[in-house]
């Protein structure tokens, strides 16, 4: 795991966006796994700006989103499809036919999950998966106790997750308590993972993800098994880590190696 600790949420967003822009410039037909939630919003703003300035194009990019609320059609303002259109897709030169979000309004959700998995395979797998993390360590909507080898399926949300996402819904609006989510096994098959977290709310989840045992209790901890993960966090999200000084030392040493001044 590469652990990058930055000053604040804006720096985290810029680092994440630059990482994605350089991947797309190297490989313009990349398959991106995308995330919703508050955390990636700033990063999407940076990507929109980069696209408008001509620094990157999404013309040949395919995307797969992590999850969707079961029971919400893509036209519902609180659906994750709607969120992605508003926060990114409507503002860049992507072909919407190449953007996949699990279908929350599917008559047979299990069939929709299977189709989603098949689509990922058909597109050759995910090159880079962007992740946020829940306060309880969930990735996608894989709540604690999710199988660490799970595939895309229907998952029940914890009360804590429902509460954490309440602010997206207006009063009186029905908030789903079930979801369709990429499985932990599906996520971990992405060739590269970029996890972003900001704020002290995420400190515990980040500690368990990086320093805890690999356990279904903290779904993010499975990333310890992945060979190419970058965790980008602000100081607040890093505040419970025991080995901060070592992670910062590694970053400095890697910089020296890159500059050729280490040996
Ligand atoms: C939701 C999403 C996750 C996201 C998490 C954190 O539950 N399903 O993919 O990572 O929330 O969200 P936020 O960035 O708003 O803290």
pLDDT in tens, 12-56: 999 999 999 999 999 999 999 999 999 999 999 999 999 999 999
Q: Which residue has the tokens 């890697």?
A: 254
Extended strands (E) in 38-191? 62-65, 67-69, 99-100, 128-131, 153-156, 178-181
Q: Separation of 248 CA from ligand 1 center, angstroms?
A: 26
pLDDT digits (tens, 9 = 90+) for 125-158: 999 999 999 999 999 999 999 999 999 999 999 9
Residue 179 CB–ligand 1 contact under 6 Å: no
pLDDT digits (tens, 9 = 90+) for 46-58: 999 999 999 999 9
Q: By CB neighbour count within 10 A (0-12 exposed, 13-18 middle, 19+ buried), where does 74 fall? A: middle
Q: Which residue has the tokens 């991947």?
A: 23
Residue 161 CB–ligand 1 contact under 6 Å: yes
**C-alpha dihedral, 48 to 50 to 55 to 58, nearest 10°:** -20
Residue 37 CB–ligand 1 contact under 6 Å: yes
What was the pLDDT predicted at 259? Answer: 92
State the maximum Cα–Cα separation within the chain, in Å, rounded to a whole number.
Answer: 63
User: Which protein residue's CA is at the shortest distance from atom 5 of ligand 1?
Assistant: 134
Residue 209 CB–ligand 1 contact under 6 Å: no
CA dist 168 and 78 (Å) reads 7
Report the catalytic residues. Answer: 67, 136, 138, 143
By most ligand atoms within 8 Å of CB, the mutation choice from 9, 12, 37 for ligand 1 is: 37
Kindly give the number of the ligand 1 atom that is closest to the alpha carbon of 66.
Answer: 9
**Distance (Å) of CA 125 to CA 62, 119, 151, 156, 235:** 10, 9, 14, 26, 33
pLDDT at residue 168 tops 80? yes
User: Which protein residue's CA is at the shortest distance from atom 10 of ligand 1?
Assistant: 132
User: Which protein residue's CA is at the shortest distance from atom 6 of ligand 1?
Assistant: 134
Kindly give the number of the ligand 1 atom that is closest to the alpha carbon of 202.
Answer: 16
pLDDT at residue 231 tops 90? yes
Q: Which CATH number is 2-259 given?
A: 3.40.50.1360
Residue 165 CB–ligand 1 contact under 6 Å: yes
**Distance (Å) of CA 130 to CA 33, 38, 44, 73, 231:** 6, 13, 11, 23, 10
Q: Where are the domains of the chain?
A: 2-259
Residues composing the chain? 263
pLDDT at residue 263 tops 80? no
Extended strands (E) in 70-133? 99-100, 128-131
**214-219 CB contacts, 8 Å cutoff, 24+ apart:** 214/148, 216/144, 216/145, 216/146, 216/147, 216/148, 217/137, 217/144, 217/145, 218/136, 218/137, 218/144, 219/137, 219/138, 219/139, 219/142, 219/143, 219/144, 219/146, 219/148, 219/184
pLDDT at residue 236 tops 80? yes
Mean of pLDDT values over 80-106:
98
CA dist 37 and 205 (Å) reads 16
Residue 137 CB–ligand 1 contact under 6 Å: no
Mean of pLDDT values over 182-202:
98
Contact 185, 210 (CB under 8 A): no
pLDDT at residue 1 tops 90? yes
pLDDT at residue 97 tops 80? yes
Q: Separation of 31 CA from ligand 1 center, angstroms?
A: 21
Mean of pLDDT values over 163-192:
94
Mean pLDDT in the chain? Answer: 97
Tell me the whole-structure pTM to 2 decimals: 0.96
């Amino acid at each position: 795991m590469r652990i990058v600790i930055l000053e604040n949420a804006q720096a985290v967003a810029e680092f994440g966006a630059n990482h994605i822009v350089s991947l797309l410039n190297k490989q313009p037909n990349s398959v991106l796994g995308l995330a919703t939630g508050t955390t990636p919003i700033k990063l999407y703003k940076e990507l929109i700006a980069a696209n408008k300035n001509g620094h990157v194009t999404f013309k040949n990019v395919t995307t797969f989103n992590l999850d969707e609320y079961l029971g919400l059609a893509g036209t519902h303002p609180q659906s994750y499809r709607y969120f992605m259109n508003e926060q990114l897709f409507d503002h860049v030169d992507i072909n919407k036919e190449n953007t996949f979000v699990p279908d929350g309004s599917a008559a047979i959700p299990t069939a929709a999950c299977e189709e989603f998995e098949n689509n990922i395979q058909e597109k050759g797998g995910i090159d880079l998966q962007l992740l946020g993390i829940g306060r309880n360590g969930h990735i996608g909507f894989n709540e604690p106790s999710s199988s660490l080898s799970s595939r895309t399926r229907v998952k029940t949300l914890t009360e804590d997750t429902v509460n954490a996402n309440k602010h997206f819904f207006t009063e009186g609006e029905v908030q789903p308590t079930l979801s369709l989510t990429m499985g932990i096994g599906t996520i971990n098959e992405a060739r590269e993972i970029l996890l972003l977290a900001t704020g002290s709310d995420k400190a515990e989840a980040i500690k368990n993800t990086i320093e805890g045992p690999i356990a279904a209790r903290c779904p993010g901890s499975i990333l310890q098994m992945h060979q190419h993960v970058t965790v980008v966090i602000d100081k607040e999200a890093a505040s419970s880590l025991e080995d901060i000084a070592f992670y910062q030392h590694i970053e400095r040493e890697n910089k020296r190696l890159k500059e050729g001044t280490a040996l």
